[in-house]
Amino acid sequence: MKLNALRRISSFFVILIIVLFTISSINFAQSNARTELKIPDIAGYKTLKCDFHMHTVFSDGDVWPTVRVEEAWREGLDAIAITDHIEVQPHKKDIPTQHNRSYEIAKPKAEELGIILIKGVEITKSMPPGHFNAIFIEDANALDSDDWREAIKAANEQGTFVIWNHPGWEAQAPNGAKWWDEHTELYEKGWFKGIEIVNWYSYYPTVHQWALEKNLTMLGNSDVHPPTNLAFNFCNGGHRPMTFVFAEDKSEAAIKEALLKKRTAVYFNELLIGEEKFLKPIVEQAIEILNPKVSVKGKGRAYIQVYNKSDLIFNLVANGNLAELSIPSEITFYPGKTSILQIKSKSTDVSGKRSLLLPYSIKNLLVAPDTGLPIDLAIEVDFVTSEN
Amino acid sequence: MKLNALRRISSFFVILIIVLFTISSINFAQSNARTELKIPDIAGYKTLKCDFHMHTVFSDGDVWPTVRVEEAWREGLDAIAITDHIEVQPHKKDIPTQHNRSYEIAKPKAEELGIILIKGVEITKSMPPGHFNAIFIEDANALDSDDWREAIKAANEQGTFVIWNHPGWEAQAPNGAKWWDEHTELYEKGWFKGIEIVNWYSYYPTVHQWALEKNLTMLGNSDVHPPTNLAFNFCNGGHRPMTFVFAEDKSEAAIKEALLKKRTAVYFNELLIGEEKFLKPIVEQAIEILNPKVSVKGKGRAYIQVYNKSDLIFNLVANGNLAELSIPSEITFYPGKTSILQIKSKSTDVSGKRSLLLPYSIKNLLVAPDTGLPIDLAIEVDFVTSEN
Amino acid sequence: MKLNALRRISSFFVILIIVLFTISSINFAQSNARTELKIPDIAGYKTLKCDFHMHTVFSDGDVWPTVRVEEAWREGLDAIAITDHIEVQPHKKDIPTQHNRSYEIAKPKAEELGIILIKGVEITKSMPPGHFNAIFIEDANALDSDDWREAIKAANEQGTFVIWNHPGWEAQAPNGAKWWDEHTELYEKGWFKGIEIVNWYSYYPTVHQWALEKNLTMLGNSDVHPPTNLAFNFCNGGHRPMTFVFAEDKSEAAIKEALLKKRTAVYFNELLIGEEKFLKPIVEQAIEILNPKVSVKGKGRAYIQVYNKSDLIFNLVANGNLAELSIPSEITFYPGKTSILQIKSKSTDVSGKRSLLLPYSIKNLLVAPDTGLPIDLAIEVDFVTSEN
Amino acid sequence: MKLNALRRISSFFVILIIVLFTISSINFAQSNARTELKIPDIAGYKTLKCDFHMHTVFSDGDVWPTVRVEEAWREGLDAIAITDHIEVQPHKKDIPTQHNRSYEIAKPKAEELGIILIKGVEITKSMPPGHFNAIFIEDANALDSDDWREAIKAANEQGTFVIWNHPGWEAQAPNGAKWWDEHTELYEKGWFKGIEIVNWYSYYPTVHQWALEKNLTMLGNSDVHPPTNLAFNFCNGGHRPMTFVFAEDKSEAAIKEALLKKRTAVYFNELLIGEEKFLKPIVEQAIEILNPKVSVKGKGRAYIQVYNKSDLIFNLVANGNLAELSIPSEITFYPGKTSILQIKSKSTDVSGKRSLLLPYSIKNLLVAPDTGLPIDLAIEVDFVTSEN
């Protein structure tokens, strides 16, 4: 009996050892989890996080197509397009060309993980007119033409959405992004409707300006070739470039509709780039003034607490002055944190309650090149004269 | 003139914007840098960090072969072997079988980055006898045999180093690692000299015991299939499993010689597993007692400061008592940090200087299953009677 | 003219330099921000994060009272009590005793930051009966008595809430927490209604059991003496021990009412300790099954995605089996992340839709010592026979 | 018997629970450890990390004096001076003035931890001449004079080292740092020999220039009032401003000698500021070119690997061109990492081995305002003509 009990104890020790090593493993193994990115939905639309440009071993990328789905899931994306080059196949010796294969291989994994996988391809021509992504394609092979006009025409005949990729790419635009006659031709035919203002590690202010003037849909894509972890510093809060699509629901059709209607914003490093009508409601949903009604005594101060519920950072600069109050010239609302905005009465002559708008501009939310999003913070201040 | 100057100012703004975006990019882009792993060399040998088991798209892995080199360089490894399965080729439809290709493709990148790339392959049989890696091979094709005996024999005929992989792998050893007659046959023929005591997320204490009893070289390998970043939590200080090889120089030949002479240790999570003759000098090089001579008054205390220069963590437990001093029952020496070990005099009767050995065991440095490395910390204490 | 322009350029450089240094400063300066702790409210109650035990220079703590308020604000707390010892005043030589001062000094800062500051004090006697916190006091001086009975009686006469502190503190309970006759006397008189089951770095399972059996309010407090940052590892996601109070609103009165009604839970490291009626709704609010309806083909698998919106971690272990499905024996839902729970059909005989409850226990949410919170995850599985 | 065994098992469970909670505690508790800062010593001198300006509750700081020692030890400092204001005593109501007390209280802790504690005080006058630290004082009371001349004279009579603090402090220098006649008087009398070019969150380029022109010892100090953790972002790799002192040994006397001989450098955020004769050898000790001899084929490339052993970051910009090679215009050597500097042959006409100096400037190591440290990286390139 005693022996049996001891055996049990001893087997318990073994289990204990296993438990402890399991615990130990948990610390160093990467958790197979998705980090949800907290970006508010805006009135009537879901904010879908998308990346429409990336490569696999089927062109000049370094990963098997399923890896692109796994990465997208972990990084909190909703939809991706794998867009292997038609014309660039450096691994052809080992992987015979099949333009539709990366999509076919990735599709089951995307279904299992709930990632919307859009079929795409990159038409890869010298400049002009350069590289173009066609997404929502049916068959990539139809786009395999030496003539760029034919290729892009074929893409349009499949009802795809065509994007001019990285117009500011140094290798094809050594003096900065340039709009050639060929682009005018394509533009006038309506053969491309989207344009990358952000690609990989670069944002192109010139192209941003073109998009605004020519009513092109703005896109920001990763164009990633290696595993994303070798390219972006996730440990440090980094993320790949992405396109926020404001879609009626989480579906491929809704994404296409939104792209055609230009309902996008581009998220790059700390920058969020887009039209004011999209950026403003995002900010309004993201931040909450916890104590909008405060009182100040005499020339005293009060603390306004502002909670940023989103994963975006907001770097504000004052966009004017107030007669009644001193306000900080700069303030940052960090993601997931509450910050203090200190106000200070300028004079003892003011008294009573006043509704005030604190005039700011969020300098890392760009409504145009070098132009921050204007935003007013509404508070009510009760000015108490010091005698009271 | 004024206009020119304004143009210059304006072009300056453009440069400024570029500079600022560059700065911004630096934060989020992954730096293309190698994190050196601080593990001391030991007398006469360099401590090389190696991983002899990993896969690419040429078998059932998810990455192009060059990625394995890039990952190894970034993670601070000195040498790797890519060991694609001979028998498992799930991508065969897209990538026709060529057993030597992953090595050929990775080799130029390895040379450029200074990574020692050892040619290897995994012989993949059902249990018994299971999976075996052959490294330092000349031609993988010669090992492509349905008969496991033939395959392993062919590997040995090429003068390779053969390793029994993951003997405790649940899929092939549902009741724990089991030594079959087939293994006795191979062992007696000298056809495998190494054994994995660590593979992927698991450490096998039973196999560790076998290695000690049968004089097999201990290995710890990643067996990684996805990009390493999807598997290991580098953000958190994690690392892939690896084998430390104590080699006469940093060369392929020296690694082979060291493997044959069993000069290895296995690094897994916070565990370092190996023979005392290797672990002890590592600890002696890693830690430095900054103030080995202290004095205590009466029943007072003193702080011994211990600096751990390495990237290893050392979890110590007291391994006995001292008549003169109370010492902490547990203490951890964190990597890159100095810790305080508090001693306290037990009595006022002791006086004068005494050389003492503080008896400890480092419980995460395993010289045998569940057996920590004994280590004595040498200090000199001057016991001052309180009257002074 | 040119000169003027150059001057402007040159002054621009100066501004640029300032801008760059400001940017540089932002990186290393600690942001003066509050990290909101995401813990769901539960039906009818707000979940307030509280710490009712801490010290300042006015007893044996190391910080000025305002620091306690600043720390609480940054760490996401809603309410604190500073509870300096009446009897322990090691700094008396420099800071003459004034038991009410730490509250008076901290109060304006608390008002400015919106932290509820509860007036408290620690009655500090040898065991039995040990140390007791009285919070919601009016005047600390009335409790300054050498007789423990008198001191605790005086505390109760002020209508305070009295807590038996750290019953398992080794210095006063070397053989583990012990309930003395003196505690029976106090308990029967109703002179203490709360008890610390967590204090500083320790959780006392025995005391947890007492609280359940004797209907005492469970508390977990920091009892911090140094700056909190020297004691808790916030860099690593750590937090001080705290008491979650389920209060009708965010006010001092509501906290008192909740404490008297025993509506609390204790948050310590990864543990959340409390009654099932509180822990269960927290989990129900915290986690969301993103795709509760799935289908499996034959003996195939499906992925259930579970999003944990809170800052709590949930370590689940299976609490039974299902006839139809294999479920993971262990799974962790990480804070802010979506995890995959893989189900696998056990047989091809089942077909059609079934509502199933996956039986789990959350082992780090303790409803009693060593007893995890049972939780069922409700899903609907459509079993598709493979022929279809 | 059976019962006994069960009891043992059961007690084992209890131990297990304790073990597990202990493990759990380790994760969230702050480790009481010192982070060594890896800054190389330079020929003949030890590089001591010092901060000569900080406050406690004895003036307008927020912590008990021992906290300053504990913080310094954890942050890797070698020496500090606590410099409470003589004239600013906002806590006087609770802590009666005793100018020497903060030193006396902190001293035993400093001895125990091996921190050099220098006795100091801040003479706090309106501008001109502003605030001055006197360190290595004997008795602070002698400096308590309403007349700034008398106070500074008294400081000098005690053989102290006097520092003009924060000349660019906005509250006293709203239009930037200004050198008044009073400073000329003090300077000519030799009554102050050091000057802060960095204080708290600011670096003053103007003051940096003064120090160079007037042969003043450059200092960078924290002037910290709250706990350092509330002010500096250590989680993110941040550090307090500090002065590196190049001293003959680790002693108070050696620090004083070094300050008098102007052997200092100032470490602020990513900036290291000092004379070339100190910064250059630091860089030479910190970085190692791992493969200084490379070969390039035709117009090919090679990778130079540069290991930065220190905790400093080095941001290099090219400082010229080479006829033979293209070199990167910018490159960063991250702390503890190895970076790749890619060189590319410019022509196929060059052949044979050449010793080359790659001309760079480290822009965050300032030898004068806005002037980086020039540094040449010596390599040997073997130009191989492509035919070979």
The pLDDT value given to residue B178: 97
Q: What is the mean pLDDT of chain D?
A: 92
pLDDT tens-digit readout, A278-310? 999 999 999 999 999 999 999 999 999 999 999
The pLDDT value given to residue A10: 41
At B130, is the secondary structure helix, strand, or coil? coil
User: Angle A50-A54-A59 (CA atoms, 0-180°, nearest 5)?
Assistant: 155
Q: Is the pLDDT of residue A337 over 50?
A: yes
- Do the chains contact at C227 and D63, CB–CB below 8 Å? yes
pLDDT tens-digit readout, A18-50? 333 333 334 567 778 999 999 999 989 999 999
Query: Which residue in chain B is spatially nearest to D340 when comparing CA positions?
Result: B33
At A112, is the secondary structure helix, strand, or coil? helix
- Please report which confidence band the pLDDT of residue C348 belongs to, taking 50, 70 and 90 as the band edges: confident
- Do the chains contact at D238 and C25, CB–CB below 8 Å? no
pTM of the entire structure?
0.92
Q: Is the pLDDT of residue A133 over 50?
A: yes
Half-sphere exposure of A142 (CA within 13 A, CB side): 14
Tell me which chain B residues have a C-beta less than 8 angstroms from the C-beta of C332: none
- Do the chains contact at C229 and D230, CB–CB below 8 Å? yes
Shortest distance between the Cα of A12 and any Cα of chain B, in A, equals 14
Query: Which residue in chain D is spatially nearest to C74 when comparing CA positions?
Result: D230
- Do the chains contact at C238 and D17, CB–CB below 8 Å? no
Q: Is the pLDDT of residue D148 over 70?
A: yes
Shortest distance between the Cα of D227 and any Cα of chain C, in A, equals 7
Q: Which amino acid is at C88?
A: V
Contacts of C253 (CB under 8 A, 6+ apart): none
The pLDDT value given to residue D350: 87
pLDDT tens-digit readout, D309-320? 999 999 999 999
- Please report which confidence band the pLDDT of residue A387 belongs to, taking 50, 70 and 90 as the band edges: low
Query: Which residue in chain B is spatially nearest to C19 when comparing CA positions?
Result: B20
Q: Which of A63, A202, A270 sits opposite B227 (nearest CB)?
A: A63
- Do the chains contact at A24 and B270, CB–CB below 8 Å? yes
The pLDDT value given to residue A208: 98
pLDDT tens-digit readout, D194-237? 999 999 999 999 999 999 999 999 999 999 999 999 999 998 88
Higher pLDDT, A23 or C116: C116
Shortest distance between the Cα of A96 and any Cα of chain B, in A, equals 7
Q: How far is CA B295 from the centre of its chain?
A: 39
The pLDDT value given to residue B31: 75
The pLDDT value given to residue A271: 97
Shortest distance between the Cα of C315 and any Cα of chain A, in A, equals 11
Q: What is the 3-state secondary structure (H, E, C) of chain C?
A: CHHHHHHHHHHHHHHHHHHHHHHHHHHHECCCEEECCCCCCECCEEEEEEECCECCCCCCCCECHHHHHHHHHHCCCCEEEECCECCCCCCCCCCCCCCCHHHHHHHHHHHHHCCEEEEEEEEECCCCCCEEEEECCCCHHHHCCCCHHHHHHHHHHCCCEEEECCCCCCCCCCCCCCCCHHHHHHHHHCCCCEEEEEECCEECHHHHHHHHHHCCEEEEECCECCCHHHHECHHHCCCCCEEEEEECCCCHHHHHHHHHCCCEEEEECCEEEECHHHHHHHHHHHEEECCCEEEEECCCEEEEEEEECCCCCEEEEECCCCCCEECCCEEEECCCEEEEEEEEECCCCCCEEEEEEEEEEEEEEEEECCEEEEEEEEEEEEEECCCC
The pLDDT value given to residue C140: 95
Tell me which chain A residues have a C-beta less than 8 angstroms from the C-beta of C26: 332
Q: Which of D28, D96, D236 sits opposite C233 (nearest CB)?
A: D28
Tell me which chain A residues have a C-beta less than 8 angstroms from the C-beta of C334: 31, 33
Q: Is the pLDDT of residue D385 over 80?
A: yes
Shortest distance between the Cα of D336 and any Cα of chain C, in A, equals 19
- Strands B194-199, B202-203: parallel, antiparallel or unpaired by DSSP? antiparallel
- Do the chains contact at D105 and C94, CB–CB below 8 Å? yes
Mean pLDDT of C113-118: 98
Q: What subunits touch chain C, counting only 3 or more CB pairs under 8 A? A: A, B, D
Shortest distance between the Cα of C204 and any Cα of chain D, in A, equals 9
Task: Name the E strands within D14-130.
Answer: 33-35, 46-51, 79-82, 116-124
Q: How far is CA B358 from the centre of its chain?
A: 28
How does DSSP assign A134-162, residue by residue? Answer: EES-S-GGGG--SSHHHHHHHHHHTT-EE
- Looking up tokens 């990115």 gives A37
Half-sphere exposure of A230 (CA within 13 A, CB side): 22
Mean pLDDT of C71-86: 98
N- to C-terminal Cα separation, chain D = 85
> Percent of chain A beyond pLDDT 70?
92
Query: Which residue in chain D is spatially nearest to A15 when comparing CA positions?
Result: D16
Q: Which two tokens stand for residue C92?
A: 């008396």
Mean pLDDT of C348-375: 96
Shortest distance between the Cα of D253 and any Cα of chain C, in A, equals 30
Higher pLDDT, B236 or D302: D302
User: What backbone phi and psi angles, to 5 degrees, belong to B196?
Assistant: -85, 115
Mean pLDDT of D281-309: 97
- Report chain B residues touching chain D, CB-CB < 8 A: 26, 31-36, 112-114, 290-291, 302-303, 305, 307, 332, 334, 336-340
pLDDT tens-digit readout, D17-56? 333 333 333 456 777 899 999 999 998 999 999 999 999 9
Q: Which of C31, C64, C226 sits opposite D57 (nearest CB)?
A: C64
- Do the chains contact at A1 and D6, CB–CB below 8 Å? no
Q: For residue B230, give Cα distances in angstroms to A52, B211, D344.
A: 21, 31, 34
- Do the chains contact at D34 and B336, CB–CB below 8 Å? no
Q: Which of A2, A8, A23 sits opposite D9 (nearest CB)?
A: A8
The pLDDT value given to residue D236: 85
Q: Which of B5, B12, B23 sits opposite C2 (nearest CB)?
A: B5
Best of C36, C73, C111 to disrupt the A interface (most A CBs within 10 Å) is C36
Mean pLDDT of D115-143: 97
pLDDT tens-digit readout, B287-342? 999 999 999 999 999 999 999 999 999 999 999 999 999 999 999 999 999 999 99
Tell me which chain C residues have a C-beta less than 8 angstroms from the C-beta of A290: 114
Shortest distance between the Cα of B300 and any Cα of chain A, in A, equals 37
Best of B22, B36, B313 to disrupt the D interface (most D CBs within 10 Å) is B36
pLDDT tens-digit readout, D62-93? 999 999 999 999 999 999 999 999 999 999 99
Q: Is the pLDDT of residue A7 over 50?
A: no
- Do the chains contact at D36 and B334, CB–CB below 8 Å? no
- Do the chains contact at A2 and D6, CB–CB below 8 Å? no
The list of chain B residues with pLDDT below 50 reads 1-26, 388
Q: For residue C241, give Cα distances in angstroms to C199, C236, C345.
A: 7, 15, 42
Higher pLDDT, A237 or A367: A367
- Report chain C residues touching chain B, CB-CB < 8 A: 1-2, 4-6, 8-9, 12, 16, 23
The pLDDT value given to residue A158: 94
Query: Which residue in chain D is spatially nearest to A11 when comparing CA positions?
Result: D9
Shortest distance between the Cα of A296 and any Cα of chain B, in A, equals 38
pLDDT tens-digit readout, A43-75? 899 999 999 999 999 999 999 999 999 999 999
Q: Which of A27, A229, A233 sits opposite B269 (nearest CB)?
A: A27
The pLDDT value given to residue B1: 35
The pLDDT value given to residue C28: 66
> Percent of chain D beyond pLDDT 70?
92
- Please report which confidence band the pLDDT of residue C237 belongs to, taking 50, 70 and 90 as the band edges: confident
Q: How far apart are CA D360 and CA D249, in angstroms?
A: 33
The pLDDT value given to residue D348: 85
- Please report which confidence band the pLDDT of residue A174 belongs to, taking 50, 70 and 90 as the band edges: very high
Shortest distance between the Cα of D16 and any Cα of chain A, in A, equals 8
Q: Which of D29, D62, D270 sits opposite C63 (nearest CB)?
A: D62
- Do the chains contact at A232 and B63, CB–CB below 8 Å? no
CB-defined contacts C:D, below 8 A: 133
pLDDT tens-digit readout, D225-234? 999 999 999 9
Q: Which two tokens stand for residue D364?
A: 């965050």
- Do the chains contact at C338 and A290, CB–CB below 8 Å? no
Q: What is the mean pLDDT of chain A?
A: 92
